[in-house]
Structure formats: structure tokens, C-alpha cells
Chain A
Amino acid sequence: MFSKDDYKEYFQQIAGVERLMIYNVQDLLILLDDQELKYTLRNVASDESRHYGYIKEIFDSILFQDEAEKRRFIRIHSLGRVKIKIKGKDGFIEAYCVNISPGGICIESNQKINPQDTLELWVDFFNGREPGHHFGTLLWRAEIGADLQIESIRYQAGVRFNA
């Protein structure tokens, strides 16, 4: 018999795979000029976004239905690209937005950011949602994706926006 935690772990893994697919296709779309290729890949991107919606629906209606959102702020699961500047360091870090709320953002990246780093973030959503510009502090970081053997994303991290 599978427990609810088993289901959650399995569908978190699937959600992770779908996010990687979305990031890869969106990275291709932003670089391409060829309209025919863009048309084909936009259809793939649309499928991947629909898939991610199905997984979120399973989380909301089956796996987390009895766990009401206990957070102070409701998270919006809008994926997007995030450019990050770490205070006191040169250059930028490229990351992706997993979810965002008025209080913070969850990001994924293949580059390491350290807890307590002070960050400036520019968020550009794939779904056309209005871009955001925020300042915040990294609260936690976890290594992810080792079980998928897909190298592109290594870290997930939570950033609290400065008041």
C-alpha cells in the first residue's frame, strides 16, 4: 500500500521533470529567430505547461486537499526566468521561478546561492504575467534532481522578500 507521502514524492518528481522540460523549451524559444521552428516548439511548450497544470491540479485536489494553505501568503505557481544579482558580488545568476507570493519566491538554478545572501531579483514570467523586481534574502537551499540524472538544475531555494 502506498502512503500519501509516497504519492507526494512521486508527483513532486514528475512536477520537477515537467518544469525542466518547460525551462528548456522556453530557453530555446527566446533564442530562436526561425519562425517555423518557433511554431513547433511553442506547441511543445504549450503541452508542457498543460501537463504542469494537470500535476498542480492533482496536488490541489487529491494530495494536499486536506492540508489547507497554512502560509501567510498564497503562492502563485507561475514559472518564469529570474535574473539575480548578489549584493557585493559581480555578475548575475540565472534561475527560474517555481512559485511566488507577496512574501517571497521559490527559485531553481544550477548555480549555488548561499543562505543569508542579499539578492536583487528580476522575474520574467513565461505566461505573460507582469514582470517583477524584488529585493530579498535567501532563507534556504536544497540540492534537487539527483534521482532524475538531468544535470541542468541542481538547487532549489527560498527567498524572502524584504519588507
Chain B
Amino acid sequence: MIKKDELITLLRKGLDMEEKGIPIYARHIDKIIFLSGLSQEDQEKIKSTLMTLKQDSEGHKIIFQELINKITESTRNVF
């Protein structure tokens, strides 16, 4: 069981991590020079991984924000 305030704090921490992760994943996705030292196959693998991480983090950011909104509006004090 977790109190509302503590839950919101942890969800905000999750949101903050996702927000900070997105620019790190995106930093090199479209930089040809970043991947140029690798084989075509490895380039594709890295690019596809970074893209997945970025897209999923964007989705998680929305999930965390919606949960924060929902819990903030809730009349419950424990979850």
C-alpha cells in the first residue's frame, strides 16, 4: 500500500527519467557520422534500438503523466 503523495512523487520521478532519456536516445539517431565506423548490419541494429527506446519512452511519458493526473484528481488517499 502506498500513500497518494508518495505515489505521485515516484510517478513524477518516472516521468522525469523518461523525459531525460528521450534526448539521450535521440542524440545520435540521425547522425550518419556516429554510425559510420560500424558495419551496415550493426548500424541498422543500433539505429532501430535507439528508435524503439525513444518511441517507447515517449509512450511511457504519456502513461506517467496520465497516471499523475488521474491520481491527483482521485479522492483516495492510498493505492
Measured CB to CB, the residues of A under 8 A from B are: 1-4, 7, 10, 13-14, 17-18, 20-21, 24-25, 27-28, 31-34, 37, 40, 44, 47, 51, 54-55, 58, 61-62, 148-150, 152
A17 lies within 8 A of B38 (CB): no
User: Nearest Cβ distance between residue A80 and chain B, in whole angstroms?
Assistant: 18
Q: Does B52 contact A (CB under 8 A)?
A: yes
Find chain A residues with CB under 8 A from B16 CB.
Answer: 150
> Of the candidates B13, B20, B36, which one forms a contact with A24 in the assembled complex, judged by CB atoms under 8 Å apart?
B13
A20 lies within 8 A of B67 (CB): no
A34 lies within 8 A of B21 (CB): no
User: Helix, strand, loop or mixed for chain B's interface?
Assistant: helix
Ranked 3 nearest A-B pairs via Cβ: A31-B2, A34-B79, A54-B49
Find chain B residues with CB under 8 A from A32 CB.
Answer: 1-2, 7, 79
Identify which of residues 14-66 in chain B touch chain A, using a CB-to-CB cut-off of 8 Å. Answer: 14, 16-18, 20-21, 24-25, 27-28, 33-34, 36-38, 42, 45-46, 49, 52-53, 56, 60, 63
> Of the candidates B11, B21, B52, which one forms a contact with A28 in the assembled complex, judged by CB atoms under 8 Å apart?
B11
User: Nearest Cβ distance between residue B36 and chain A, in whole angstroms?
Assistant: 7
A47 lies within 8 A of B56 (CB): yes
> Of the candidates B2, B33, B42, B53, which one forms a contact with A54 in the assembled complex, judged by CB atoms under 8 Å apart?
B53
A24 lies within 8 A of B14 (CB): yes
A-B contact pairs, 12 of them (CB 8 A): A13-B24, A14-B21, A24-B13, A24-B17, A25-B14, A27-B10, A32-B79, A33-B1, A44-B60, A55-B49, A149-B20, A150-B20
> Of the candidates B6, B28, B36, which one forms a contact with A10 in the assembled complex, judged by CB atoms under 8 Å apart?
B28
